[in-house]
Amino acid sequence: MTGYCTNGDMKGEKMRLVTTKEELCKVVLQDYCAHDTELNGLFFDFPVEMEKKEILEAYEELQYRINGDEVTYPATPSLSEVYKGNCKDFLEGLNGEEGYHRYCYGNMDDEVDFVL
């Protein structure tokens, strides 16, 4: 399965389905390093088929690595379910959900949207 990437220099090019945490991190980091802009949801605008927990682990790693932000989420059985769809849509759907938080620079008093 392929999809179309809508971010950065790869706009309109076919993009293969991302299926691992490592691959997700690689795709986002490559695109992020090619642009002079803040990490946002558009960097995650590509198709994935992987466990929800792996998507969240990759997102957590990227937020910390790029912004120094801490990401927290509840450990629930539903996170072991496989999500098949757009990664950005999955992450943005967690904005405002109970238990999903992102704190600027790890400061627990400075909470921001889970995904911008």
For the segment 61-94, what is each residue's pLDDT rounded down to a tens digit?
A: 999 999 999 999 999 999 999 999 999 999 999 9
CA 23 – CA 39 distance, rounded (Å):
17
- What is the pLDDT, as a whole number, of residue 112? 82
The two tokens of residue 91 are 């992450």
The two tokens of residue 61 are 């790693």
pTM value is: 0.83
- What is the pLDDT, as a whole number, of residue 12? 47
Note the maximum CA span of the chain. Answer: 42
Is residue 28 within 8 A of residue 62, CB to CB? The reply is yes
Query: Does residue 93 or residue 107 have the better pLDDT?
Result: 93
Q: Which of the listed ranges 8-12, 36-40, 58-62 does the model predict with the highest average pLDDT? A: 58-62
Is residue 57 within 8 A of residue 21, CB to CB? The reply is yes
Arithmetic mean of pLDDT, 3-18: 56
